[in-house]
Amino acid sequence: NIWMTFIMTMLIDQLKSLAVQPMVWFVVVRRCGTLPVTTKAMLEFHEEWLLEQEANGNYEETPSLMAFLRAKTRAQCDRREVNLFLIGLVCFYAVFVIFQIATQEIFTSLQNDGVNWPTDLMDEIDAVILAVFLAEVAVKSFAFGLVFFDTWNTLDAVIVLVSAAFMWLVPIQVQGIGLLRLLRLVRVVVALRKVSEGRRKLKKIHKSSGPDVSSHVDRVLETLEMLQAHKAVPQYLKDDLEWVAEMITSNKLYTVSVDQDENGDELNAWFANSDGMNNKKDMPMNSRDSALNVMAGMTQGTMEFGSTRDPKEKSQVGKQRKAEVVDPEVEKAQWINNLYMLTGLSQAELDQIDVALKTWEEWQFDILVTMELMPDALTQVMFIRLAIDYEFIRELGLDFDRLYSYCARVQESFRTPQQVKFNGAGHTASMMQTIHYLLRKPPAEGSKGLPDYLEILDQFTMFFSCMVINFCHPGVTNHFLCKSRHPRAIRYNDIAVMQHYNLAACFDLLRDKDMNFMQNCDKDTCESFRMMLVRVVVRSDIKSHYEELSIFQTKIAANDFPDVEQLEDRLVLMGVSVRLADIAWTCRPQQSFMRWGEKFIEQFFSQGDLEKQIGITVSPFCDRDIVSPAKCQISFLLVVVHPFVSAYCALFEHVKKDLIDEGFDINRAQLATIAR
């Protein structure tokens, strides 16, 4: 018997291992089947192969198993079928508890010999449903972390835990415990709240002070919401209406989809060629490769920015970088010293700059004071310091010396403050500092800030957009260039004239080998950078202001915006952040705002003077003889600034105090006093 027991134990243990080990291999090693069974997958942690792939730009660091499982769990929790099941279960449980309370005395009287099977059956059903709710709270806590526990979800979790405690830990009948379980209907309230949370944000924006700049999209969404709430509409139509609202809020009405067949790769290649890079990250890898192969012959022989190294040489460079272990703080200090050496500033000036930059993460930071300390090196110092602080140089592999040369050339393109009052080096630095503030401002506990939705290349693109958006700015508007038949307007067909000129000039600088700071970057990084920069800068034209505002407000109405996995969402977020940086001077502390306001109005008046000289119609707000500066600024604040800043603060409420409460509102009141 002993030997038989031993043999059976060994056999069962081996059978258990045969069942468990493949499961562990599939879940842990292959990330639930997402990693292919190839030689490269098995050599992922081999040092030489890892260095070679990283140097060639083909290696992407895989997330940890815990991060992977949490991401997969989040995706499952967000599925529509799961949410509908939970809501249905909550409604059933509410009816069940009411029935249990109403029939409790009746079933108690049916007890026979200490056995009451109806009551026992309902207790078992109650325990099973409560176990499902406990599992839901545990799974969502694991998937979402502290972000899951807002006010409603916390109340919901407390009700579940208290109900479970009374059922299993303290198995006694407590008066009112049935009513406590009825509070599970809070889950239905939570679900309905999540469906329309974004739309309520839009209504809150529109009810705020200032003119209503809502688009027709808002009225369409309100109409759809009314139809969904109508009793005569059947459920299947309500589901269709919800899908329509989702397509509108996610801005997918004109998104093209390609059905896969035997020619799927070729179709996707043509689709990528016609649709540009907008859907690059949404395409399968093999389709992206096919698209690149189709277009490869069109790019051969052309001079382009980006990598110019041989792949083998890049591999050796990658190994050398990996072998050289440098303390990041020491490396940052070396770069800062090199920066100040290249600027040629004296030690006394450098000390003053360091003192001034100590507060550049705060909204009260005055860039005009800093500009007086280094009028000829403001762009280089600001942008390079930001690139060092955010580790762009290290993480993206940028060339420090060439990046400095590029920034110096941008600084040289700005005209003097006497020629261009507003759109010069000072405004450029102010925009970069605004993005810096938005990225570093800590959000409230349990909520997310701007950096939580953007990748490192996205952040670099935003700062770079701010730097080049005023490149060679002539001090006049696009409208002036168009109606005066300026050569730039003729070249770019009156469409976002300065924006297209800036982009062409900036990318032309990158073709210079002495300024090609992306020479060590891989081709995908360069293409993504160019695509995002073009999108952000071109859409910064004032003619696109309300269209971008409408798209942003519509996106806010979506429940899943912003989705970090969606390139379109990140592009919208980058565009509105740069646009906010452009008009953020109106939300600065009062003293700084008044100085910026004078520059803003004076540049308008200078354009009006020029229009009078050449004999064309003076543009609105540009005639110094009839325009009141205070009233002009008030109208600009109310019509252009307020709707945009209010929408942005509806998404990121942690910046509302600085931008609106202690900035915009005070400045508007001051202007109203002056205009009386």
pLDDT in tens, 167-207: 766 555 544 455 555 565 555 555 555 545 555 555 665 55
How many C-beta neighbours within 10 Å does residue 163 have?
21
Listed range (129-143, 307-321, 500-514) with the worst mean pLDDT:
307-321
pLDDT, residue 503, reads: 93
Average pLDDT estimate for 283-289: 39
Residue 670's pLDDT band (cuts 50, 70, 90): very high
pLDDT at site 169: 62
What burial letters (b/e) apply to 191-222, b meaning 16+ CB within 10 Å? Answer: eeeeebebbebbeebbeeebeebbeebbeebe
Task: Round to whole Å and give the CA distance between 380 and 343.
Answer: 8
Write the CATH number of the domain with boundaries 70-192.
1.20.120
305-327 pLDDT per residue, tens:
555 544 444 444 444 444 455 67
Least confident of 118-132, 236-250, 349-363, 633-647: 236-250
Buried b (16+ CB within 10 A) or exposed e, 33-68: eeeeeeeeeeeeeeeeebbbbbbebebeeeeeeeeb
Each domain of the chain, given as residue ranges in start order, spans 2-62, 70-192, 311-675
- Report CA dihedral (523, 528, 533, 536) to the nearest 10 degrees: 170
Q: Where are the alpha helices (DSSP H) in 145-263?
A: 151-164, 177-182, 186-207, 216-229, 235-249
Top-confidence range, 70-74, 276-280, 321-325, 661-665: 661-665
pTM: 0.67
Which SS3 state, helix, strand or coil, does residue 115 take?
strand
What's the pLDDT tens digit per position in 327-344?
Answer: 778 888 888 888 888 888
**What residues contact 423, with CB distance under 8 A and at least 6 apart?**
470, 473, 475, 603
Structure confidence at residue 200 (pLDDT): 59
* pLDDT bucket at 44, cuts 50 / 70 / 90: very low
pLDDT of residue 290: 39
Greatest mean pLDDT among 457-461, 542-546, 619-623 lies in 457-461
Share of the chain above pLDDT 90, in %: 31
Helix, strand or coil, per DSSP, at residue 112? strand
- Give the rounded percent of residues in the chain with a pLDDT score beyond 70: 71
**Strand-pair partners of 115:** 112
Predicted pLDDT at 12: 84
For the stretch 225-261, pLDDT in tens is: 777 776 677 776 777 777 777 777 666 665 655 555 5
Between 220 and 449, where is the model more confident? 449
pLDDT at 302 over 50: no
> Under CATH, domain 311-675 is a member of which superfamily?
3'5'-cyclic nucleotide phosphodiesterase, catalytic domain (1.10.1300.10)
DSSP string, 569-607: HHHHHHHHHHHHHHHGGGGS-HHHHHHHHHHHHHHHHHH
Instruction: Determine contact, residues 251/563, Cβ cutoff 8 Å.
Output: no
Task: Tell me the torsion sign for CA atoms 151, 152, 155, 156.
Answer: negative
CB 603 within 8 A of CB 422: yes
Q: Does position 299 have pLDDT exceeding 50, yes or no?
A: no
Give me the mean pLDDT over the 145-161 stretch.
73
Residue 148 has pLDDT above 80, yes or no: no
First to last CA, the chain: 105
